[in-house]
């Protein structure tokens, strides 16, 4: 093949400035313009489907007068048919060649029209989608502006996500930072909460926009299955794994929130709405965290308000302890002298009236000495001495001692209820017995009583030991119930009691790690309980000094 022909074949359609100087530029330029003329008249096919430059532009580029090209335009089909016959190609009539060109032109026009129509349809779809997106954004913003609570705002976001993804229902999981569990809510597509549950901690995927990973999907599915929830065609009752998708997810320093649904739709298909949802969900998380903080603050204020009176009472009681301890110490020596002198006087007295007076003096001094001893014990209780104790024998001894100290004419029946066989535990038997005696004495002194029941219960599963003293008397008034543990308080007539019994009993029980609880209603009776949440089970014992 001649070099000039080869260069024209390989280098035509290249701009003049791109060709080297040693090639046949003039022939290459004519070939390029001829190819453009053939394209314009839809004659033949060069194997190039490209659009190419116009004939006029190529003429200007190759410095060829456009008039020369226009002169051959009317005879191009006849000349091509003649040249084709001359070089030995199939004989083609000018008319057939013209018809073929017209057919090709029509097909190209149809392609251009189809392309233009498709582009127009695409623009219409994009315009409709933009309008729909604008409507959804406007609706979302309007709903957000009307929402006065975080719950209402979350419902608005759920409605917007359900509308965008054509989702009938979804699960929403929320948790404030530091909270141990997740709140899982089952939302209808219209934003109404269908049901709620609490599930243990689970970790969301680190990526804030990716689909939920398998462990989270499994945890959500199990929780939904346990609640009997259904999302569209997902039956959580049949499998731990459901086709769950993380629709929208937000993780911040204040908390986490995630919306789960069934299907393949993703919020990445709506980036504008997704960003808006993230902003609104961030506000929800902030409001939830603020609400939780407000609740914690209110609880702390309530606890503080409740603690302040107890603290003031504790401080006053502590000062009373210090005062009574000093008073008891100072009164012991004079009482010892009085008691000793009364003893001497009683032994030496000859007259009956002197003997009687000495006995009264000695009795009063002994009573006062016992009171001082009780006050001293109340102020500074001794350390407990742990010994092995038979529970049935303990309550029987306490009932017997109570009967001995009660009024001689008191015939109230005391019923004892203890486990059989009676277990043995380790505690300060004297402290608990004295406390039980005080509780039984109070029950025996209740107005209108006919029966006092002393019951002991041992729960070996949770390690709880309880002594209960019940009476069927008139019960306490609310005023007496609120002051029953106050030192020197008594609702009996003056001179009938010192008012230290329950106070002393509580000190003894608390010294052994327990507590006393009293429930009473007027006209029903009173129940007093000594409770040890963790009774001693070791065998370490020591003798009381």
**By the 8 A CB rule, do 446 and 474 touch?**
yes
Which of 110-119, 128-137, 204-213 is predicted with the least confidence, judged by mean pLDDT?
A: 204-213
Paired strand residues for 467: 456, 530
What are the backbone dihedrals phi and psi of residue 456, each rounded to the nearest 5 degrees, phi first?
A: -125, 135
Q: What is the pLDDT, as a whole number, of residue 397?
A: 93
Paired strand residues for 187: 170, 193
Paired strand residues for 85: none
Assign domain 146-286 to a CATH class.
alpha beta
Q: How far apart are CA 26 and CA 241, in angstroms?
A: 74
Q: How far apart are CA 196 and CA 250, in angstroms?
A: 20
**By the 8 A CB rule, do 532 and 465 touch?**
yes
Q: What is the pLDDT, as a whole number, of residue 31?
A: 87
Q: What is the pLDDT, as a whole number, of residue 267?
A: 73
Q: What is the pLDDT, as a whole number, of residue 232?
A: 56
| Six token digits for residue 111 | 């392609």
List pLDDT tens digits, range 525-541: 899 999 998 764 443 33
Q: Which CATH number describes the domain made up of 387-532? A: 3.30.565.10
Q: How far apart are CA 188 and CA 502, in angstroms?
A: 59
Comma-separated ranges of CATH 3.30.565.10 domains in the chain: 387-532
Distances (CA, A) of 183 to 174, 229, 259, 450, 516: 5, 15, 12, 53, 38
| Six token digits for residue 95 | 């008319």
Which of 128-137, 299-308, 340-349, 393-402 is predicted with the least confidence, judged by mean pLDDT?
A: 340-349
Comma-separated ranges of CATH 3.30.450 domains in the chain: 146-286
Paired strand residues for 459: 464
Paired strand residues for 465: 458, 532
The confidence band for 156, taking pLDDT boundaries of 50, 70 and 90, is: very high
According to the per-residue pLDDT averaged within each range, which of 85-89, 181-185, 224-228, 372-376 is highest? 181-185
List pLDDT tens digits, range 67-125: 888 778 778 888 888 887 777 777 778 788 888 888 888 888 898 899 999 999 999 99
CB atoms near residue 244 (< 10 Å) = 24
Paired strand residues for 456: 467
The confidence band for 280, taking pLDDT boundaries of 50, 70 and 90, is: very high
Q: Which long-range contacts (CB under 8 A, 24 or more apart) does 83-91 make?
A: none
Question: To the nearest whole percent, how much of the chain has pLDDT over 70?
Answer: 76
Q: How far apart are CA 350 and CA 453, in angstroms?
A: 50
* Global confidence as pTM: 0.47
Give the residue among 120, 107, 157 at the shortest CA–CA distance from 136: 157
| H-state helical runs in 147-229 | 150-165, 214-227
Buried b (16+ CB within 10 A) or exposed e, 50-67: eebbebeebbeebebeee
SS (H, E, C) 474-513: CCCCHHHHHHCCCCCCCCCCCCCCCCCHHHHHHHHHHHCC
**By the 8 A CB rule, do 431 and 384 touch?**
yes
The confidence band for 494, taking pLDDT boundaries of 50, 70 and 90, is: very low
Buried b (16+ CB within 10 A) or exposed e, 452-487: bbbbbebeeeeeebbbbbbbbbbbbeeebbeebbeb
Q: How far apart are CA 212 and CA 201, in angstroms?
A: 15
Q: How far apart are CA 345 and CA 184, in angstroms?
A: 85
Q: How far apart are CA 459 and CA 225, in angstroms?
A: 36
Q: How far apart are CA 545 and CA 541, in angstroms?
A: 13
Residue 154 has pLDDT above 90, yes or no: yes
Distances (CA, A) of 529 to 5, 432, 440: 118, 12, 11
| N-term to C-term CA, the chain | 130
* More confident: 299 or 370: 299
Give mean pLDDT, residues 152-173: 89
Residue 369 has pLDDT above 80, yes or no: no
């Amino acid at each position: 093949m001649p070099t000039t022909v080869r260069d024209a074949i390989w280098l035509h359609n290249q701009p003049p400035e791109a060709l080297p100087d040693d090639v046949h530029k003039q022939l290459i330029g004519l070939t390029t313009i001829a190819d453009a003329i053939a394209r314009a008249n839809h004659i033949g096919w060069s194997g190039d489907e490209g659009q190419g430059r116009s004939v006029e532009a190529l003429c200007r580029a190759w410095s060829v007068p456009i008039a020369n090209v226009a002169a051959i335009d009317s005879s191009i089909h006849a000349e091509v048919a003649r040249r084709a016959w001359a070089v030995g190609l199939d004989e083609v009539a000018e008319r057939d060649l013209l018809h073929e060109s017209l057919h090709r032109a029509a097909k190209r026009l149809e392609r251009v029209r189809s392309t233009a129509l498709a582009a127009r349809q695409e623009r219409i779809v994009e315009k409709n989608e933009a309008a729909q997106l604008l409507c959804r954004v406007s609706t979302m913003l309007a709903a957000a502006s009307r929402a006065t609570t975080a719950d209402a705002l979350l419902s608005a976001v759920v409605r917007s996500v359900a509308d965008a993804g054509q989702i009938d229902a979804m699960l929403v999981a929320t948790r404030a930072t530091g909270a141990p569990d997740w709140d899982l809510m089952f939302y209808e597509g219209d934003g109404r909460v269908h049901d709620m549950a609490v599930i243990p901690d689970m970790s969301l995927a680190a990526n804030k926009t990716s689909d939920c990973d398998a462990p989270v999907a499994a945890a959500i599915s199990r929780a939904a299955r346990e609640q009997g929830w259904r999302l569209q065609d997902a039956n959580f009752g049949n499998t731990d794994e459901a086709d769950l998708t993380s629709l929208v997810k937000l993780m911040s320093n204040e908390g986490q929130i995630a919306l789960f649904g069934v299907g393949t739709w993703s919020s990445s298909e709506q980036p504008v709405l997704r960003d808006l949802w993230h902003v609104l969900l961030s506000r929800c998380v902030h409001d939830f965290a603020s609400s939780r903080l407000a609740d914690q603050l209110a609880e702390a204020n309530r606890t503080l308000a409740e603690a302040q009176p107890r603290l003031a009472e504790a401080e006053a009681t502590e000062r009373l302890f210090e005062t009574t301890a000093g008073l008891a110490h100072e009164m012991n020596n004079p009482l010892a002298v009085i008691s000793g002198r009364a003893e001497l006087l009683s032994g030496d007295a000859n007259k009956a009236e002197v003997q009687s007076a000495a006995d009264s003096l000695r009795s009063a001094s002994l009573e006062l000495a016992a009171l001082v001893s009780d006050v001293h014990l109340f102020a500074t209780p001794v350390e407990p001495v742990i010994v092995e104790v038979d529970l049935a024998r303990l309550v029987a001894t306490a009932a017997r001692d109570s009967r001995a100290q009660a009024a001689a004419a008191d015939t109230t029946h005391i019923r004892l209820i203890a486990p059989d066989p009676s277990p043995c535990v380790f505690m300060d038997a004297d402290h608990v017995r004295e406390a039980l005696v005080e509780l039984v004495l109070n029950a025996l002194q209740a107005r209108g009583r006919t029966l006092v029941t002393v019951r002991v219960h041992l729960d070996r599963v949770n390690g709880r030991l309880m002594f209960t003293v019940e009476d069927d008397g008139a019960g306490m008034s609310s005023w007496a119930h609120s002051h029953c543990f106050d030192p020197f308080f008594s609702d009996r007539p003056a001179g009938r009691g010192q008012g230290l019994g329950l106070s002393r009993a509580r000190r003894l029980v608390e010294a052994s790690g327990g507590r006393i609880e009293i429930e009473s209603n007027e006209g029903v009776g009173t129940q007093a309980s000594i409770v040890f949440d963790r009774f001693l089970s070791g065998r370490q014992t020591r003798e009381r000094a």
